[in-house]
Amino acid sequence: MNELKKLFYLLLIIPIMFINTGCSDDDNGTDPEVNEAEVLAKYLEDNGNPVTTFAQMIKATDVYNAILAGDQTQVVLDIRSATDYAAGHIEGAINVASTDVLTYYEANNLSSKAVVVVACYSGQTAGWVTGLMHSMGYKNVKDLKWGMCSWNEATSAGWVSNTNMASKGNRGGDMVSTNFPKPAAGELPALSTGSKDGAAILRARVEAIFAGGFTQKIARDGVMDATGDYFIVNYWSTDHYNWKHLNGAVQYTPGATSDLTLDNALKTLPTDKKIVIYCYTGQTSAQTAAYLAVLGYDVYSLLYGVNGIDWDNIPANKFVAETEVHDYPLVQ
């Protein structure tokens, strides 16, 4: 009798075992592996890809004219240190740490404003912030061109010192005219936020990068003394690339026809090497580096761009203190 019971139970269990082992991952509720970077890149490109609209900048003159007009639709966020903010800032500017801009923006409904100006020392940290905010879809955020260096002579030291070749040294002679082609396309970086939704992946990535601060930057000599250690992106037009560029630099077109999209050459960027991206001023490259960091690339913006390498001969977007540094008031 006991043997008959055992046989009966065994016959009941065997079909269940076959059912369980025969199920696919989809049948038992387990999703196949998600390529988060691919999901994120497609989500960004389907929602007004910000990389095609960089650079996002606003001139000091436009900011000042809005203040004179009493324009309440403009907000200025000063992301410099509290000490430097207290020493003198733009009238009405709000002091917010660069790492807190996203939180402050959302908590204060700044998406309702016509323009949110981010002001830092030279425009480069503000460029990084702007790149992250545009990645989040907050398209009213603008980077103050040349930063606070353009506002008043008292706050102009950053750009003046970094374009003073008499003291800094001109390194235009280390640039070349050799053409370096793009490599073959590979894969996107690996992301692991644990989400499969583009919006959720984006928020997780942007929040993580904000929390880490502006680390996606690198100084001139560190790159030019070891160009072989980096994959260097020249983010200029082809004509200006042909003028001359950093040794080993590969040309990628910026703007509305940006190469840094899935349908173009985004996947030619390496995932196993540090990427340095440079432009004329370091501001567009900072915005773009922030975007690429969101996608998972190990990327750095060259501070001050080619203004800080060959100021005498740069073909465009040259910082000229006599015309770019204004005498707008600083308040305390």
Position 34 confidence tier, pLDDT thresholds 50, 70, 90: confident
Q: Which amino acid is at 76?
A: V
CB neighbourhood size of 321 (10 A): 15
Domains of the chain in start order, with CATH, are 34-321+323-327 (3.40.250.10)
Q: What's the CA gap between 133 and 276, in Å, rounded?
A: 21
Tell me the mean pLDDT in the region 191-216: 97
Order of strands across the sheet that contains 74-78: 57-58, 141-144, 115-119, 74-78, 94-95
Q: What's the CA gap between 233 and 225, in Å, rounded?
A: 16
What does pTM read for this prediction?
0.90
How high is the pLDDT of residue 32? Answer: 55
Radius of gyration of the chain (CA): 25
Token pair for 275: 């990427």
Instruction: Encode pLDDT of 234-246 as tens digits.
Output: 999 999 999 999 9
Task: Indicate if the pLDDT at residue 7 is higher than 50.
Answer: no
Q: Which amino acid is at 201?
A: I
Mean pLDDT of all residues in the chain? 92
How high is the pLDDT of residue 132? Answer: 98
Tell me the mean pLDDT in the region 227-238: 98
Task: Indicate if the pLDDT at residue 5 is higher than 60.
Answer: no
Instruction: Encode pLDDT of 108-158 as tens digits.
Output: 999 999 999 999 999 999 999 999 999 999 999 999 999 999 999 999 999
Instruction: Count the helix, strand and coil residues of the chain and give each as a percent rounded to the nearest 5.
Output: 45, 10, 45
Q: What's the CA gap between 289 and 231, in Å, rounded?
A: 13
Q: Report the SS3 class of residue 229.
A: helix
Task: Indicate if the pLDDT at residue 278 is higher than 70.
Answer: yes
Q: What's the CA gap between 276 and 245, in Å, rounded?
A: 13
Q: Could you give the C-alpha distances from 155 to 65, 122, 221, in angstroms and in order?
A: 19, 9, 25
* Residue linked to tokens 């989400």: 195
Q: What's the CA gap between 147 and 150, in Å, rounded?
A: 6
Task: Indicate if the pLDDT at residue 305 is higher than 60.
Answer: yes
